[in-house]
Structure 1
Amino acid sequence: MRLGYLWAALLFAPLLHAGDKVSAQQFVDLQQGDSVHPGFRRAHAKGICVQGEFRNNGALAQYSSAQIFATSVTPFVGRFSLAGNNPTAPDLKAPVRSLALSFATSASEQWRIAMNTPPVMAVSNPQDFYQQLVAIKSGPKAIQTFFAEHPESADFLAWKDSYQPSGSFAAETYHSINAFYLVDDNEQRQPVRWHMQPTVSVTDDGLSGPNALHQELKARLAKQPVVFDWLFTLASAQDDERNPAIQWPAERPRINAGKIVITQWQAQQDGACHSINFDPLVLPSGISPTVDAILRARSAAYAESYRRRAVEQLRGQAKELSND
Structure 2
Amino acid sequence: MTSRPPPLGTAATLARFALIALPVLLLGITFAYVRGWLDPTRLTPVKIVDTLQATGGDHPGYRRNHAKGVCVTGWFESNGQLAQASKAEVFAPGRTPVVGRFALPGGNPYAPDNSVPIRSLALRFTQADGQQWRTGMNSMPVFPVGTTQAFFDSLQASRPDPATGKPNPAAQQAFFASHPETAAFLAWVKTAKPSASFATERYDGLNAFYLVAADGTRQAVRWRVVPEGVTPAPSAGEGADYLAQDIEQRLAAGPLRWTLQMTFANPGDPVDDASKAWPVDRRTLEAGTLVLDRAVAQNDGPCRDINYDPTVLPQGIEISGDPLLPARSAAYADSYLRRTGEVNSLHAAQEPRP
In the superposition, the TM-score normalised over structure 1's length comes to 0.90
Kindly provide the amino acid, as one letter, of the partner of residue 153 in structure 2. Q
Per-residue CA distance 1:8-35 (angstroms, 9 max, x = gap): xxx9977647468311001111111173
Aligned to 1:7: none
- Do residues 166 (structure 1) and 195 (structure 2) align? yes
Residue 241 in 1 paired to residue 271 in 2?
Answer: yes
Instruction: Specify the code of the residue in structure 1 equivalent to 2:92.
Output: A
* Count of residues paired in the alignment: 309
Give the gaps of 5 or more residues in structure 1.
1-10, 320-324
- State the partner residue of 1:322: none
1:62 to 76, 84, 91: 84
Q: What letter corresponds to residue 43 of structure 1 in structure 2?
A: N
My pick for the range that moved more, 178-187 or 12-21, is: 12-21
**How many angstroms does 1:162 deviate by?**
3.4
Alignment correspondent of 1:127: 149
The alpha-carbon deviation at position 151 of structure 1 amounts to 1.2
Aligned to 1:278: 308
Q: How do 1:72-111 residues align onto structure 2 when only pairs under 5 Å count?
A: 72-111=94-133
Worse-superposed segment, 251-260 or 15-24: 15-24
Asked if the contact 1:168–1:217 (Cα under 8 Å) also holds between the matched residues in 2, the reply is: yes
Instruction: Provide the rounded CA distance (Å) in 1 between the counterparts of 2:156 and 2:183.
Output: 19
Q: What amino acid maps onto 1:113 in structure 2? A: T
Look up the SS of the partner of 1:73 in the other structure. strand
* Greater mean deviation of Cα atoms: 55-64 or 140-149: 140-149
Contact 1:196 1:228 in 2 (8 A): yes
SS at match of 1:170: coil
Match of 2:46 in 1: 25
Aligned to 1:197: 226
Aligned counterpart for 1:212 among listed residues 217, 223, 242: 242
Q: Is the 8 A contact 1:166 1:202 kept in 2?
A: no
Q: Tell me which of 180, 185, 189 is aligned to 1:156.
A: 185
Q: 2:257 is aligned with what amino acid?
A: V
CA separation in 2, counterparts of 1:14 and 1:275? 25
Q: Is the Cα contact below 8 Å between 1:181 and 1:192 reproduced in 2?
A: yes
SS in 1 for 2:170: helix
Greater relative CO (CA pairs within 8 A, separation 6+): 1
C-alpha separation between the residues in 2 aligned to 1:294 and 1:78? 21
Which residue of structure 2 aligns with residue 144 of structure 1? Answer: 173
Query: Of the candidates 66, 71, 74, which is equivalent to residue 49 of structure 1?
Result: 71
Residues 227-246 of structure 1 show CA distances to partners (whole Å, capped at 9, x for unaligned) of 11111111000202011110
Which residue type is aligned with residue 84 of structure 2?
Answer: Q
Alpha-carbon spacing, 1:254–1:14, altered in 2? closer, same or farther (3 Å): farther
CA positional deviation for 1:253? 0.7
Secondary structure of 1:171's aligned partner: coil
After superposition, the Cα gap between the structure-2 partners of 1:194 and 1:274, relative to the gap in structure 1 and judged at 3 Å, is same
1:4 matched to which residue of 2? none
Q: Structure 1 pair 123/164, CA: closer, same or farther in 2 (3 Å)? A: same
Equivalents in 1 of 2:90, 2:232: separation in Å? Answer: 30
Partners of 1:66 and 1:149 in 2: CA distance: 41
Q: Answer yes or no: is the 8 Å Cα contact 1:121–1:156 preserved in 2.
A: yes
Contact 2:117 2:192 in 1 (8 A): no
Q: Is the 8 A contact 1:65 1:184 kept in 2?
A: yes
1: CA distance, partners of 2:63 / 2:171? 26
The letter for the 2-side match of 1:195 is: R
In structure 1, how many angstroms separate the alpha carbons of the residues matched to 2:296 and 2:32? Answer: 31
Deviates more, 1:249-258 or 1:161-170: 161-170
Say which SS state the counterpart of residue 54 (structure 1) adopts.
strand
Structure 1 residue 89, shift from structure 2 partner: 1.3
Identity of aligned residues (%): 44
Q: Is the 8 A contact 2:96 2:128 kept in 1?
A: no
Q: TM-score under structure 2 normalisation? A: 0.83
Matched to 2:118, the amino acid is V
C-alpha contact 1:13 1:303 (8 A) present in aligned 2: no
Q: Secondary structure at the match of 1:316?
A: helix
Q: Distance in 2 between matches of 1:318 and 1:165?
A: 39
Deviation at 1:201, TM superposition (A): 5.2
Tell me how far apart the structure 2 counterparts of residues 150 and 282 of structure 1 sit (CA, whole Å).
Answer: 30
Name the structure 1 match of 2:332: 302
- In structure 2, distance between residues paired with 1:290 and 1:318: 41
**Greater CA deviation, 182-191 or 198-207?**
198-207
TM-superposed CA distance for 1:44, in Å, is: 0.6
SS in 1 for 2:130: coil
C-alpha distance in 2 between matches for 1:276 and 1:257 = 24
More displaced 10-residue stretch of structure 1: 164-173 or 51-60: 164-173
| Shift in alpha-carbon separation, 1:305–1:14, aligned structure 2, 3 A | farther
Please say if 1:287 is aligned against 2:309.
no
The CA distance in 1 between the partners of 2:266 and 2:252, in whole Å, is 42
Q: How much does 1:218 deviate? A: 0.7
Structure 2 portions without partners, runs of 5+: 1-27, 160-166, 350-354
State the Cα distance separating 1:197 from its structure 2 match. Answer: 0.9
